[in-house]
Structure 1
Amino acid sequence: MIIDAIGWTLVGLGVVVSLIGSIGLHRFADTYARMHVAGSITTLGTVPVLFGSALVIGGGGAAKLILAGVFLLVTTPAATQKLAAGALESGTGLEPDTHVAELLDAGPGHPITAEDGLPLKE
């Protein structure tokens, strides 16, 4: 009874996170921000649904769901990073109002400009 309640709570949490992330996916204009949200939705939305479902169904099916969740936790961040690196290498532009201080090591809130060497959308 308690296990089922915890399982359904995890499923509900995952659904809410996925819904909020989907709204964020449509609100962001930048390709890289959208990739970040998509990776977060997969990690923080799908994994609780899988683990909650594993608690509810139990047995051999639960082990498969847990393995799928672990696989997503391990592979999604790396895949998202590689997709973003490939997009940057191919010249996919950043929105002009994007602030990416970490890419440039220029300090917090540094606006991206064409002089920084990163592609910008016109």
Structure 2
Amino acid sequence: MKTIAQPAVITPTIIGLAILFAAITFIGATGKRVPLLSNIRVDIILLVIIGMAICSQGGIGRVAATGQWTHPLSILGYLLGGLILLIALAVFVGWKLPFIANDGQALLAIAILASLKIVNAVTHYFLSRV
């Protein structure tokens, strides 16, 4: 019986992207004046793009490689990703969401959900190895 080699969930590329994600979140949340990052909507776009890059390597990419599409933690990852995209869309379309009154709160909500998504991916990785 052939076993499927699982790609690592934490790689140097993912660590670098996560550090960049944290820096952009800090700049957006504190309102620091940094060229190209002084607009909170630009920060939200960057967080979504970086989050998708992280997910394609350590999240959905790993799920696709192992064929675990219907695993409960995979489904939780889909839901978290969908919420992130919904919040980002709401910011740009002008929808009012409960508990998110402005763009700054949307940025923090996206950062928190993305962090939960990373914790979910790491948990899924370690549970799958057992």
Same fold by TM-score greater than 0.5: no
In our comparison, the structure showing a higher alpha carbon Rg is: 1
> Higher relative contact order by CA 8 Å / sep ≥ 6: 1 or 2?
2
Under a length normalisation based on structure 1, what TM-score does the superposition of the two structures give? 0.44
Under a length normalisation based on structure 2, what TM-score does the superposition of the two structures give? 0.42
